[in-house]
Structure 1
Amino acid sequence: MNIPTSYILTVCGLERTLPVLQVAPDLSIASFVILGDTELVCRTAPELVKKLPPIDVLITAEAKGIPLVFEVSRLLGMNYIIARKSVKPYMQDPLTIEVHSITTQKKQTLCLDGKDAAVIRGKRVAIIDDVISTGESVAAVERLVCQAGGVVVARAAILAEGDAANRDDILFLAPLPLFPHK
């Protein structure tokens, strides 16, 4: 199978040409990065907001989901929480969890400050991300939310990559194919 060098993504009326990059010996992905793409963030956030059920708290994992969760939070008039990639000296009683995602290709830690955990306790939480692929990152954030006593009522992303597009437990705006090497 010939793997293309680029993929044209259309989402919310915007078109982006994404480079297709090999991330494993048998897999290439269309590299989707929202960091710095203000137009895309501002066009997709309102469409995600329309899909969300009633929520009390927004959360994302550091770092690519931050611009999106910011815009979603601005539209909803609420603050957001970031699951950080390491414990910071200012954190009090942090919760931690390990995750292995397709883009990091190694184990990483996600951390939630104790004060953020207190905000989540007993609340309806939406996890916001740029892309959901294997679902490992979202599942790790969900475990943190559950440890903190929150209830995840939505998992939302701009794109669902590969088999994630067939899941009925996530909200997304467009599918993104994977490019397996056969």
Structure 2
Amino acid sequence: MKLNEELAIASFVLLGDAELTHYAAEKLAAKIDFDFDYLVTMESKGIPLAQEVCHFLKKPRYVVLRKSIKDYMKVPISVPVNAITTSAQQQLVIDGNDAALLKGKKVVIIDDVISSGGSIAAAEKLLHKIEANVVARVAILAEGDAAKRSDIQFLQKLPLFKA
């Protein structure tokens, strides 16, 4: 999938693939062999993955960082985000109730693919802002240079391509 004149990526769409989500979640859950309180994911592809990983780890709840403020949110908190797969700047938003829940807690950020790291960095910034303690970052795939990072755990590498 061509992103610009120089860069293309392999398309990896987790949404709708229950079998792949279940399999990847089982493998990621096995890597999360340490103490933490909550999984945190970003809307939207991380949601089914977080759900399944919670199932394997017997965690009753996870938190979703949304891409926009929703009417139901009480005192929403947001940060801007730039990601390789999105051409326009977006935001990550957490509901004030979820922010209160995560304050002082150990959290694991979980996503389908880490590429440029923009989404993970924004999530970390937002979680730091609400005083949550990020103890790990996990993903199914690490794309391009993300595979060289020592601060993330992932199942497989995903190459970038010249357009």
How would you bin the TM-score normalised by the shorter chain? Answer: over 0.9
Q: What's the counterpart of residue 146 of structure 1?
A: 128
User: 1-side partners of 2:25 and 2:118: how far apart?
Assistant: 22
Are residue 62 (structure 1) and residue 43 (structure 2) matched?
yes
Q: Which runs of 5+ in 2 are unaligned?
A: none
Residue 73 of structure 1 deviates from its aligned partner by: 1.1
Q: What's the counterpart of residue 31 of structure 2?
A: 51
Alignment counterpart, residue 65 of structure 2, candidates 83, 87, 96: 83
| Divergent runs of 4+, >4 A | none
Give the residue type in structure 2 aligned to 1:131: V
Alignment counterpart, residue 37 of structure 1, candidates 2, 17, 39: 17
User: 1-side partners of 2:115 and 2:87: how far apart?
Assistant: 13
User: 2-side partners of 1:166 and 1:180: how far apart?
Assistant: 19
User: 1-side partners of 2:28 and 2:148: how far apart?
Assistant: 18
Q: What's the counterpart of residue 6 of structure 2?
A: 26
User: 1-side partners of 2:105 and 2:153: how far apart?
Assistant: 19
Which structure has the larger Rg? 1
Q: Deviations over 1:73-95 (max 9, x none)?
A: 11222201000011111111111
Q: Helix, strand or coil for the counterpart of 1:91?
A: coil
TM-score normalised by L of structure 1: 0.86
Alignment counterpart, residue 113 of structure 1, candidates 86, 90, 95: 95
Of all paired residues, the percent bearing the same amino acid is 52
Give the residue type in structure 2 aligned to 1:27: L
User: 1-side partners of 2:101 and 2:88: how far apart?
Assistant: 30
Q: What's the counterpart of residue 73 of structure 1?
A: 54
